[in-house]
Structure 1
Amino acid sequence: MENKSNNSGLKAAIVVLALLLLGSVGYIYKITSDNKETVTGLTTEKETLAEELKAKIAEYDTMIADNTALKDELQAEQAKMVELLEQVEKSKGDAAAMAKYKGAYLKLKGEMDNLVAENKLLKEQNVTLTSSLDSTKVVLDEAKKFNDTLLVQNEGLTKTVEKGSKLAVLNLKVLAVKERSSGKQIETDKAGRADKLKVSFLIAENQIAKTGSREYYVQIIDSKNNILGEKKTIPTGDKTLTYSFISTVKYENKTVQVNEEVSGKDFAAGTYFVNVFDKNAELVSKTSFSLR
């Protein structure tokens, strides 16, 4: 009877131990499964964070290439992202470390969001400024064209006035004469008889010309290519002008008759050429005559 009681107690103990063993196995299995899930979750979280950091670093590359004004700030923040990525990739992925890295990432992301907003604003301002500069350039170009047109017109007007203010020398004539002892002059076309050449010309009226003294250089060239008269020379740029005499005229916006004489002897027969130059050595009149 006592043996039966002992056997029942032993069986009960075995059952309890078996149940405890099964419970321990189940608990260990659950803990192991939970640990596996936790490790898997942390690994995935680490990989996700690393990918996000790489994407943000690439975004920084684009912004740095587009913006020179914020280049230093963008590069500094990008360097922080690169440093954090290196730390994440080297970590073992434990929960405490991942929490720390996620917090650092969120802070850096916030800084990046601010820079992105500032970069966008700068781009918009640049677009507005560029548009404004383009408009200003168009206005300035139009103003320059208008000023250039006025300048050309003024230059043309100045040249027209200068041209219009020049005095015209007209009716240039030369007569060969023989002067008698009485002073009477007799016109002749014989070289052997002539002892004077009488030169005359008109300076025409011009109301827009300046009044004052005018000088004209008269050049008489005989048939042997000799210059008669004073034979004085003045420079004219890279050349010289030899003249027979200077005629000084007082001009007062009215027609002026000019009469001059050149004395000589042994005038050569043939064709003579007479040229009149102004003070700038510009030819203003010419004629010719012949002596036989």
Structure 2
Amino acid sequence: MENQKSSSSLKAVIAVLAVLLVGSLVYIFKMTSDTDVVKTELKTTLTEKESVMKDLQELKSTYDAAISENTSMSDELTQERDKVVNLMNDLSKSKGDVASLAKYKTQSVALQSKMKVLMAENEGLKKQNTTLTTQRDSAVVVIGEAKKSNEALAGQNEELSKVVEKAAKLTVLNTRGSAYKLKSSGKEVATDKASRADVLKISFTIAENQVAQSGTKSYYVQVIDSKNNVLGDKKTETFGDNTLTYSFMSNVNYENKTVDVTENLRGKDFPKGTYFVNIFDKDQLVSKTSFSLK
């Protein structure tokens, strides 16, 4: 009887132990499974965090490259790049839990979308700038060629003006000087005697020139005697730094045809010797001659 009771108690203990063993095994299995799940989730979370960080780094590199091109959008691109950098800093400090990682992924996707819009706009501006630069360079070339052409034309015009100016210069020739004795009748008698001379007759010819401007032409006539004295009015005219003392001025009505001019210079007690006659157009000597009185 007692043996039967002991046997029953032993079986009960064994049964309890068996149940406990099974429960322990089930608990251990569940704990192991949960740990594996946690490890798997943690590994997955870390991988996704690295992936998001990689995307953000690529996004930053894209902005850095665009900013270095120094376009008109550089300020806006810099602001967006700074947002990416701040998100990278926040992500690196995060614990990597699923909730926060989801938030960072959402923000990363939003930044990537904004980047695509800005990059498209930046590329458009670059193309416009390229077109404008090409047009500007073309304009510079055209302007440069036009400038060269204008300079060449200006040079040609200057040369032409010089040619025309030179061609328009009147030629004074056949300048002569001689002495005359005035008789009481008014008749003039040529003489080569200084003691008999009452008037010096100066004559010259202005040649025909169809290019020259017609109108009154003024010439300064300078007559110098053998003692180096300027005869006549002895007036002085200033031309810039030059001064001219002359005997008289001859005003001629010129109509582009040959004109013979004769002027009289009255005097007395003319000295013997060589006389010099100089014709000036302003301060430019245009003709000269000499003659002698005995």
Mapped pair 1:245 → 2:243: no
Unaligned 5+ segments in structure 2 are none
The worse-fitting range, judged by mean Cα deviation, of 147-156 and 248-257 is: 147-156
Mapped pair 1:160 → 2:163: yes
Q: Which residue of 1 aligns with 2:283?
A: 281
Distance 1:210 1:239 in 2: 25
Mapped pair 1:78 → 2:69: no
Q: CA deviation at 1:254?
A: 1.5
Mapped pair 1:291 → 2:293: yes
Q: Which residue of 2 aligns with 1:130?
A: 133
Distance 1:267 1:141 in 2: 69
Q: Which residue of 2 aligns with 1:63?
A: 66
| TM norm structure 2 | 0.90
Q: After superposition, give the CA deviation of every residue in 1:155-192 in whole Å (9 maximum; x if it has no partner).
A: 33233222222221110011123333343434333434
Q: CA deviation at 1:76?
A: 1.8
Amino acid at match of 1:149: A
Q: Aligned runs of 1:182-201 on 2, under 5 Å?
A: 182-201=185-204
- Alignment match of 1:49 (pick from 36, 49, 52): 52
Aligned residues with identical type, % of pairs: 51
Mapped pair 1:141 → 2:144: yes
Q: After superposition, give the CA deviation of every residue in 1:11-57 in whole Å (9 maximum; x if it has no partner).
A: 23222211211121121122223223322332343344334323422
Distance 2:227 2:20 in 1: 157
Distance 2:124 2:229 in 1: 87
* Matched positions, count: 291
Amino acid at match of 2:59: K
Distance 1:50 1:288 in 2: 108
Q: After superposition, give the CA deviation of every residue in 1:51-102 in whole Å (9 maximum; x if it has no partner).
A: 4323422332332231331122112212211221222122111110000011
Describe the SS at the equivalent of 1:8. Answer: helix
Amino acid at match of 2:48: E
- Alignment match of 1:267 (pick from 266, 270, 273): 270
Unaligned 5+ segments in structure 1 are none
Describe the SS at the equivalent of 1:92. Answer: coil
| TM norm structure 1 | 0.91
Q: Which residue of 1 aligns with 2:122?
A: 119
Describe the SS at the equivalent of 1:102. Answer: helix
Q: Which residue of 2 aligns with 1:173?
A: 176
Q: Which residue of 2 aligns with 1:38?
A: 41
Distance 1:71 1:221 in 2: 85
CA contact (8 A) 1:197 1:261 kept: yes
Amino acid at match of 2:278: N
CA contact (8 A) 1:67 1:119 kept: no
Q: After superposition, give the CA deviation of every residue in 1:234-260 in whole Å (9 maximum; x if it has no partner).
A: 221122211100111111222111011
